[in-house]
Homo-oligomer: A and B are copies of this chain.
Amino acid sequence: MTDEKATSADHSTVKHMKWWGWGVEGVGFHHEDKPDFAPFVLKAVDVDLWTATKAQPLPFDKLDVPDSNVSPEFFAALTAAVGDDNVTSDAMDRVVHTFGKSLRDLVRVRSGKIERTPDVVVYPADEAQVQSVVDAAVAAGAVIIPFGGGSNIAGSLEPIVGETRTVVSLDLGRLNRVIEVDADSGLARIQAGALGPDLEAQLTERGWTLGHFPDSFTHSTLGGWVATRSSGMQSDKYGDIADIARGLRVVRPGGTLVIRAIPSASTGPSVREMIVGSEGRLGVITEVTVQVHRIPEKRDIYAYFFPNWATGLKAMQEISESDAAPSITRVSDARETGFSLATSKASKGMSKFLSGTVLPTLMKRKGWNLDDICLSFIGYEGGEAHAKRQKAIVDAIVKKHNGMGVGKGPGVLYDQKKFDTPYLRDFLLDMGAAGDVSETAAPWSKLAAVHDGAYAAAQGAFDKLGKVGWIMSHLSHSYHSGACLYFTFAFKFGEGDPIAEYDVVKSAIQQAFIDNGGTISHHHGVGLEHSPWLEQDISAGGVDLVKSLFASADPDGTFNPGKIVGGRLVGGRVATLIDTDAIETEEVQA
C-alpha cells in the first residue's frame, strides 16, 4: 500500500516550536495545583516562586538578527528548486532555524543577540527537490544544515559563528508521510521529516506502531532521531533507533545513497551505521525504512518502590538478566523520587500514595527511610499471557530486593506526563533558574560510580559558583551489559554570564561521566555540546576515523560543518564557535 497523497503545496502546514522555548505558545507548566512544588524549588535551587518575577521573552522585533547574505542568484536557484512559496529569508524563519532547544540555546536566543542565523530556509516537497537544493548549494559553495523538529539539545543545528558562506537550513517538514507499510515484514517506509505524533497517527490508522518514544517525541522527527542515534522510552523492547532504522535514503551531491532494508548484513563497515548518528554531516536523510510492530494486546506500566537507590539499581540489573525482557525499566534515585512527589498534583499520582498513612506506615514498618525511597516503572507488553508472565518474573525480583509494587495508577500518570518535562525547564528558566540534562550509559559494574561521580562533580561545580544547586537521576534504559543514567540538574542564575555558569556545571558532569567509565551521551548525540569529550570517549584513533570519513566524504564541508568533530565552543566555552574543519582536513590528508 503506497500513499500517493500529494504533499501540501507550500510550507504553511509545517509545525515549528516557538522561537524562545519548547513547544507551542499557550502551553506551559504551572504549579498552582502542586502545593509541594514551590517549597521544593526554594529548597533545591534557592528560587522563591512566590516572589520571583516571571521573565517575559523579548518582543521578536527587539532581537538583533544578522542580515541574510543569500545572493539573488542563489535565492533564485533555490526558488527554481522548490517553488516561490518555499524559500524564505525572513528573520523569524531564520531565528526559528538557528538553534535547537538546549538551555544554552534558549539563553542565547532570549538574550536577543544572535550571532549567526541560517541565511535562507528552504522547504522541499520531496526527495527530488532535496536533491535540487543540495546540488544548487554545492554549485553555489553554500552550507546545508538539515532541520527536522528543531528539538536537538547538543548544538547540532546552529550555523558556525564566523561562517562566511551562505548557510541553508533545509527543513524536511513537508516530507512527513508514511509512504508504505510492508505488512508481511513489519517494515514501513517513512519520510524523514515526519514528527513523532504524525507518523504514529499514520501508523496507528493501519494498526501499527513504531514503538519509538523519546522525551522529545512531540516535536522531533524520524530523520532527526536517526541523525542523532536517538532512544525512546520503550527501547528496551523496540530497540534504539540504530536498531529500528533498517533502510535509508540520503541525498548527497549528485545522487542518492540508498541502503535497502535488510534485517542483518555482513557488508562492513556498515554504511547504515555511518549515517545513523551523522548529524547531517554526510548528507540529507530523506526517508527511513523502519521496523514497525502490531499494537500489542497488552501494554501496562507498573510502579514499584525500592527502599533505596542501591537496591533499585540491583533489581534493574537482575531484571535485565532475567527472562522477563520488559519494555521499560526505569528507576529514579531518591532525589528524583522526591521531585516526582513534589510535582504531583495534590490529589493525584504519587502524592495520593504517600499523602495517606497506609503506604508510609507500611514503608516505615519495613524499616525504610522515606527520604531514601526510589520510584520505579516497569513496562510489560505483548500477548496477555506474556505480559502477565513478565510481571510475575519482575515481581519476584522486586520482592527479593525488598521492593514493593503499587499498581498501575502512577504508571498511567507517568505515561501521560512523560513528554512535558521541557515545559517545566522553560518555566524554571522564566523564573531565573537554569535546568538542563546530561545522560550517559555505562556497564552495570560502573553505574554506581558514574552516579556518585556526577553528583560529586555537580556539587563541586555548585560550590565553585557559590550556589545552592540540584541534581537528580534515573536509570532509563537497560541492556545486557549496562544501562543509561539520566541526570537533571538545576541552579539559580547569578549576575554573571549565565552561559559561563552553566558551562561550569555541565562540563563537570560530562567529565565525571568519562572519568567513571560512561559515554558522553546515550541518546542526545554529540553536536558541539559534547564534542570536547569525544576523544576521551572513543580515543584519538576513533576521532581520527570520524574525521577521515567526513573529510573524504564531504571535502568542501558542505554538510553541517563543525558538528561532532571540527567545531568547537571557544572562549571559556561561551557561545562563540570556530570552524577548524579546514585545518583538520589538511591534517588528515597530509
Which residues of A line the B interface, CB within 8 A?
Answer: 182, 184-187, 227-231, 240, 242, 246, 250, 252, 255-271, 273-279, 282-283, 291, 293-294, 317, 321-323, 325, 382-383, 385-386, 389, 441-446, 477, 479-484, 517-526, 530, 534, 537-542, 544-546, 548-549, 551-553, 555, 564, 588-589
B240 touches A480 (CB 8 A): no
A260 contacts across to B, CB distance below 8 A: 517, 519, 537-538
| 30 cross-chain CB contacts under 8 A | A184-B445, A185-B481, A229-B265, A240-B264, A242-B270, A246-B481, A256-B541, A258-B541, A259-B542, A260-B517, A262-B518, A263-B483, A265-B521, A266-B523, A266-B524, A267-B525, A267-B530, A269-B275, A269-B546, A271-B538, A271-B545, A273-B273, A274-B545, A323-B385, A544-B553, A548-B548, A548-B552, A551-B552, A552-B588, A589-B589
Give min CB distance, A455 to chain B, whole Å: 20
The answer for the CA separation of A269 and B545 in the assembled complex, in Å, is 10
A261 contacts across to B, CB distance below 8 A: 443, 481
Give min CB distance, A437 to chain B, whole Å: 13
A267 contacts across to B, CB distance below 8 A: 229, 277, 519-521, 525-526, 530, 534, 537-538
A263 touches B480 (CB 8 A): yes
8 Å CB contact of A479 from B263, B266, B268, B564: B263
A269 contacts across to B, CB distance below 8 A: 273-278, 282, 546, 549
B262 touches A442 (CB 8 A): yes
A282 contacts across to B, CB distance below 8 A: 269, 545
B382 touches A323 (CB 8 A): yes
A182 contacts across to B, CB distance below 8 A: 443, 445
The answer for the CA separation of A263 and B439 in the assembled complex, in Å, is 13
Residue of B nearest to A269 (CB): B274
Give min CB distance, A274 to chain B, whole Å: 4
Give min CB distance, A494 to chain B, whole Å: 32
Assuming A257-B541, A270-B242, A445-B185, is B477 touching A264 (CB within 8 A)?
Answer: yes
5 A-B pairs besides A257-B545, A266-B526, A267-B519 with CB distance below 8 A are: A185-B446, A187-B481, A242-B270, A255-B541, A257-B539
8 Å CB contact of A185 from B263, B443, B589: B443
A523 contacts across to B, CB distance below 8 A: 264, 266
Give min CB distance, A145 to chain B, whole Å: 16
The answer for the CA separation of A551 and B548 in the assembled complex, in Å, is 8
Assuming A258-B539, A589-B555, is B546 touching A263 (CB within 8 A)?
Answer: no
B443 touches A263 (CB 8 A): yes
A446 contacts across to B, CB distance below 8 A: 185
8 Å CB contact of A541 from B242, B250, B480, B534: B250
A270 contacts across to B, CB distance below 8 A: 229, 242, 270, 273-274, 276-277
